[in-house]
């Protein structure tokens, strides 16, 4: 895919993502239905409405591309597609329900299993981080502050899941790292890519739709993102679950892996 093509598809993704954000704002702190897909995994009518909007707009613009979304029934058909949209229409549903401004719309384009571009938009704050791998990123339409250049792990500001912190998973690291709670995984990745935090680490597994757009942004910013064992991500796999995540500039990423990576 040529650079011009990537810029073209980024504009398509931006328009669809911001339209979904406008729709989500109409539900935020207002009337909507919510229920559990499974324990501790809520969904709302806002999730479904945003998913429908994104699917209709993105697939209409790119009918030959595949589709993977948290809120759309998955099929094996996507595995045969060279290009694929990977979407989380409302990442951070718990925070959305709680009325916290820590949720986001997350849209990525994958080609040959690699992220090509990503857009993460926070409807509550208006933040939009967009980028093309190899061509940098923007924050609210302007060139973004470069990814943090911090190289020392001690005192590094590491964005982490509210749930992981509350469950005590970060207790062994609190004397070494400055752990900051943020809701949406996509939002954490976007903020780190834009220099608003030194690193993001997930100690729990994530699905491709949680992280794909954010990983694209980290790579676009010159950072590195891998699972907890240091393995780079390949997207559009049959099994969408990945083994946690570490994202930062390459030096800090290496030092965090030394601290956090499981043995073996």
**pLDDT tens sequence across 146-156:** 899 999 999 99
Which of 146, 164, 148, 145 has the alpha carbon at shortest distance from 156?
A: 148
| Residues 197 and 247 occupy one common structural domain | yes
CATH number at residue 195: 3.40.190.80
Average pLDDT (212-224) is 98
Residues 119 and 242 in one domain: no
DSSP string across 36-52? EEETTEEEEHHHHHHHH
Please indicate, yes or no, if residue 133 is contained in any of the structural domains.
yes
Percentage of the chain exceeding pLDDT 70:
98
Residue 13, domain CATH: 3.30.540.10
Mean local confidence (pLDDT), 180-192:
97
Q: In terms of domains, do 106 and 192 share one?
A: no
Query: Which of 143, 171, 200 is the endpoint of a domain?
Result: 143
Whether residue 253 is found in the same domain as residue 129: no
Return mean pLDDT, the chain: 95
Give the pLDDT of residue 217. Answer: 98
> Residue 134 belongs to what domain range?
3-143
Percent of the chain with pLDDT over 90: 92
Q: What integer pLDDT is reported at residue 10 of this predicted model?
A: 98
pLDDT at residue 38, as a whole number: 84
Confidence class for position 3, pLDDT limits 50, 70, 90:
confident
Into how many domains does the chain fold?
2
- How would residue 262 be classed by pLDDT, with cut points 50, 70 and 90? low
Q: Are 198 and 148 in contact (CB under 8 A)?
A: yes
Domain end (from 112, 143, 174): 143
| In-domain check, residue 242 | yes
19 and 93 assigned to the same domain: yes
Do residue 221 and residue 198 come from a single domain?
yes
Q: Is residue 151 part of a domain?
A: no
pLDDT tens profile 26-82: 999 998 999 998 888 899 999 999 999 999 999 999 999 999 999 999 999 999 999
My answer on whether 90 and 135 are in the same domain is yes
Residue 165 lies in a domain: yes
pLDDT band at 261 (very low <50, low <70, confident <90, very high): low
* Band (263; pLDDT cuts 50, 70, 90): low
Q: Say whether both 128 and 195 belong to one domain.
A: no
The whole-number pLDDT of residue 1 equals 85
7 and 86 housed in the same domain: yes
83 and 110 housed in the same domain? yes
- Give the tens place of pLDDT for each residue, 161-173: 999 999 999 999 9
Choosing from 108, 143, 178, the residue where a domain stops is: 143
Within this chain, do residues 171 and 251 fall inside the same structural domain, yes or no? yes
Answer yes or no: do 103 and 35 share one domain.
yes
For residue 150, tell me if it sits in a domain: no
Task: Say which residue the tokens 């993977």 belong to.
Answer: 68
């Amino acid at each position: 895919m040529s650079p011009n093509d990537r810029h073209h598809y980024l504009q398509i993704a931006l328009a669809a993502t911001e339209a979904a954000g406008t729709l989500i704002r109409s539900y935020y702190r207002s009337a909507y239905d919510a229920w559990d897909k499974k324990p501790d995994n809520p969904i709302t009518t806002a999730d479904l409405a945003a998913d429908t909007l994104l699917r209709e707009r993105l697939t209409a613009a790119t009918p030959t591309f595949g589709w993977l979304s948290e809120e759309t029934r998955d099929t094996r058909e996507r595995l045969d597609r060279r290009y694929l949209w990977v979407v989380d229409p409302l990442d951070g549903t718990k925070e959305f329900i709680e009325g916290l401004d820590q949720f986001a719309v997350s849209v990525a384009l994958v080609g040959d299993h690699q992220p090509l571009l990503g857009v993460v938009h926070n409807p509550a704050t208006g933040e939009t981080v967009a980028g093309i791998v190899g061509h940098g990123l923007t924050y609210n339409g302007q060139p973004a502050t470069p990814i943090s250049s911090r190289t020392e792990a001690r005192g590094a500001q590491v964005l982490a899941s509210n749930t992981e912190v509350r469950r005590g998973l970060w207790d062994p690291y609190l004397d070494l790292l400055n752990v900051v709670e943020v809701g949406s995984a996509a939002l954490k990745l976007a903020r780190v890519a834009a220099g608003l935090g030194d690193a993001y680490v997930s100690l729990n597994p994530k699905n491709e739709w949680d992280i794909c757009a954010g990983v694209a942004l980290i790579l676009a910013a010159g950072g590195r993102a891998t699972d907890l064992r240091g393995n780079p991500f390949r997207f559009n796999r049959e099994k969408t679950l990945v083994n946690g995540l570490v994202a930062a500039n390459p030096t800090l990423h290496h030092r965090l892996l030394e601290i956090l990576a499981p043995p073996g």
